[in-house]
Amino acid sequence: MTALPTVGPGTPPRADPAAAPPPVVPDTVISDEIRVVGMVWERELIRYVRTRTRIVSGLIQPVLFLFVLGYGMSGLVGTTGGFNFRQFVYPGVVAMSVVMTAMFSALSIVWDREFGFLREMLVAPVSRVSLVLGKTAGGATVAAVQGTIMLVLAPLVGIRLTPLLVVQMIALELLMAVAMTTFGVFVASRIQKMESFQVVMQMLLMPMLFLSGALFPLNGLPGWLTVITRLNPLTYAVAPFRQAVFAAQDLSPAAQARFPTNVTLFGFTLSIGMELAIVVVFAVVFFVLAFRGLSRTE
Amino acid sequence: MKTDLASEHERSGVAGDASLAVDVHGLTKRYGELAAVDGIDFSVGQGEIFAFLGPNGAGKSTTIKMLCTLAHPTSGRATVAGFDVSTRAKSVRRHIGLVFQEQTLDDQLTAGENLQFHAVLYGVPHREVEARISRVLELVALSDRRKDLVSTYSGGMARRLEIARGMLHTPKILFLDEPTVGLDPQTRALIWDDIQRLRREEGVTIFLTTHYMDEAEYAERIAIIDHGAIIALDSPDVLKASVGTDTVAIETSDDEAALASLQRAGYTVERTGSGLTAFVADEETAVGPIVAATGVPVRTVRAHRPTLDDVFLHFTGREIRDQRGEAVPMMARARGARRS
């Protein structure tokens, strides 16, 4: 595949010396594909930075949940061993902001389709894997940044941040964001119309968030609801996140019992490693589905 | 790979394939029973401006999609820039520029960022990117708007930026699908200045589709396509000549006398319902001498040169769809022209 035919001496003369003909290259060049991933990633970041309303609106909803729901429910739930509902819900709310940003970023593919830019990407002589990788990396970066901004709220609700915890949280945010961005790209690749976008956001994202353990513990739910929560990939992303946050606090045994963080599957309590492995599996599956969704020819 | 392609060319009996920008044999695209494109043959030389002219739904876009590897041919063969569209899709794409009917820019990015993105997608070597971006922006006279968001651009500017972007990776062929649809006449003229400049300065082959007659006039050769088949293919002048010569129609106070004097002066003249029609080589220069040679007072003069409208009507027996106005007089003119 190295000696490819080129258009021979019949090529018309070119006026501009800078306009050298493109080099004859094999169909896929790894370094070119890496450049593409980087460029798609960069575009996500440029767009994120440029739309300040998105940054602000991406913060408002989690803040609302943290403080409004946090204070509202605190009265009901009360304080156990010096630990209250706001502290319980904090990691869930951070996860929520990561998930929403990641999904929103991925679903911008629907916008790209509507405004034609998707076509510019899809007709380019590059691998769709690179496009999905770039999109995933971009969405994940943006989401992790958004989640990291949420860390400044920690002291306000009495969550203690240690350097280790900050590193752990950012790492977990990235993993969660990757999984949710690939999921979002997969969903977006199936959405043809803008109108469907809102419906998907409402019908998919909100139930996924509510049934992930982000806002309330998943134990003691009725059986059918428990099944749904265990099918929800977010469940396995939120649990280690909360476990990491709780591990950095001085939680009394009473508080630990009151606010459980473990996920059980078939009566078996999953370790953090298993939960993370499940998230990785989901991410890989969604990535393949996203790639296939975008690979369908027009 | 090289030998494969060469032998493939030999088998199909096509000589000098690589010297042609586009080479198409029996290209067909079926959607179920419907043949959107029905076994067309044509070729486009390098550096040529070639137009596909036809009404909406004639098969123009389907053809362009197959040539750009966005749709698979049902049968037939096409090579673009020397690469087979069925087996070397990526190579074809790398060597062509594409400007779609609908806008495909990211309007939240600046013009420069859109071009940067494109340069990476098409593997423009890193050290050449900057020079290429400056160059193509210069070609469409948008250098001073490089740092502006595309959302601040007018429709015409966005279209010119898309043309610049299509040229960024130095394609051999630039495909323009209805390049000026929906734009005002002034902007259309501006865009055609751009297209001709980049053809002149970059030596690129231009392949366009249009349903505007006046736009097809810019092409060196036109393929008229209707119901998925090419029904005429030649230069605009030859096509126009094929439907008749220029005419000068006059109405005088005494047509009998005028007819006699004009025939004496050596003109080919015919009586028509309302007056006389002289068949001339060039209507513009013939009007004066004819009026002078009439010998009687002339009431009206109408000079006509066959247009692509006449050509289209001649070959299809009807007007191009969604054409504006003047249906009846045009038919009459075409009938007159065909009689000659």
Cβ atoms within 10 A of the Cβ of A104, count? Answer: 23
Share of chain A above pLDDT 90, in %: 27
Which has the closest alpha carbon to A48: A150, A140, A164, A121? A140
- Mean of the per-residue pLDDT values for chain B? 83
CB distance B90–A297 less than 8 Å? no
d(CA B106, CA A43): 10
pLDDT at B325 > cutoff 90: no
Q: How confident is the model at residue B17 (pLDDT cuts 50, 70, 90)?
A: low
Are B205 and B173 in contact by the 8 Å Cβ rule? The answer is yes
Mutate to test the interface with A, among B104, B148, B161, B174 (most CBs of A within 10 A): B104
**Tell me, what's the pLDDT at B319?**
61
**Tell me, what's the pLDDT at B153?**
93
- Mean of the per-residue pLDDT values for chain A? 82
The tens digit of pLDDT for each residue in B94-148 reads 999 999 888 899 989 999 999 999 999 999 999 999 999 999 999 889 999 999 9
**Tell me, what's the pLDDT at B327?**
37
Q: How confident is the model at residue A221 (pLDDT cuts 50, 70, 90)?
A: confident
Whether the CB of A17 is below 8 Å from some CB of chain B: the reply is no
Q: β-strand B49-53 against B96-99: which pairing, if any? A: unpaired
Average pLDDT over residues B36-53: 92
pLDDT at B8 > cutoff 70: no
The tens digit of pLDDT for each residue in B163-187 reads 999 999 999 999 999 888 888 888 8
Phi, then psi, of B336 in degrees rounded to 5: -60, -45
Burial code (b: 16+ CB inside 10 Å, e: under 16) for B200-227 equals ebbbbbbbbbbbbbebbbbbbbbbbbbe
Q: Where are the domains of chain A?
A: 30-295
**Tell me, what's the pLDDT at A177?**
93
Q: Identify the residue with better confidence: B90 or A17.
A: B90
d(CA B308, CA B312): 6
The tens digit of pLDDT for each residue in B222-252 reads 999 988 899 889 988 888 888 778 888 899 8
**Tell me, what's the pLDDT at A206?**
86
Are B167 and B174 in contact by the 8 Å Cβ rule? The answer is yes
Which has the closest alpha carbon to A252: A87, A93, A108? A87
Closest partner CB to A10 (pick from B19, B109, B120): B19
pLDDT at A133 > cutoff 50: yes
* Topology of the domain comprising B239-339: Alpha-Beta Plaits (3.30.70)
Q: Where are the domains of chain B?
A: 239-339
Q: Which two tokens stand for residue B224?
A: 């008229």
Closest partner CB to A7 (pick from B81, B117, B132): B81
CB distance B18–A7 less than 8 Å? yes
Residue A67 CB burial class (10 angstroms; 0-12, 13-18, ≥19): middle
Give chain A positions within 8 Å (CB) of B118.
120, 124
Q: Which two tokens stand for residue B151?
A: 């959302």
pTM of the model: 0.78
Average pLDDT over residues A146-172: 90
Query: Of A15-29, A219-233, B123-137, B182-196, which one has max mean pLDDT?
Result: B123-137
Alpha helix stretches (DSSP H) within chain B: 2-11, 60-67, 89-94, 111-121, 126-139, 155-167, 185-202, 213-216, 236-242, 255-264, 283-294, 308-316, 327-339
pLDDT at A76 > cutoff 60: yes
CB distance A297–B70 less than 8 Å? yes
The tens digit of pLDDT for each residue in A24-39 reads 555 667 888 899 999 9
Give chain B positions within 8 Å (CB) of A116.
100, 102-105
**Tell me, what's the pLDDT at B336?**
38
Distance of CA A78 to the CA centre of its chain: 32
Query: Of A216-220, A257-261, A274-278, which one has max mean pLDDT?
Result: A274-278
Q: How confident is the model at residue B1 (pLDDT cuts 50, 70, 90)?
A: very low
Residue of A nearest to B107 (CA): A115
Count A/B contacts: CB-CB distance under 8 Å. 139
Sequence-ordered list of residues with C-beta below 8 angstroms from that of A219, at least 6 positions apart, any chain = A260, A264
Least confident segment among A263-272, B28-37, B189-198, B204-213: A263-272
CB distance A124–B122 less than 8 Å? yes
Q: How confident is the model at residue B318 (pLDDT cuts 50, 70, 90)?
A: low
Instruction: Determine the distance in angstroms separating the CA of B113 from the nearest CA of chain A, rounded to an integer.
Output: 9
Average pLDDT over residues B174-203: 88
Alpha helix stretches (DSSP H) within B27-184: 60-67, 89-94, 111-121, 126-139, 155-167
Cβ atoms within 10 A of the Cβ of A184, count? Answer: 30
**Tell me, what's the pLDDT at B15?**
38
Q: How many angstroms separate the first and last alpha carbons of chain B?
A: 55
Instruction: Determine the distance in angstroms separating the CA of A161 from the nearest CA of chain B, rounded to an integer.
Output: 37
Strand order in the sheet with B246-252: B268-272, B275-280, B246-252, B298-304
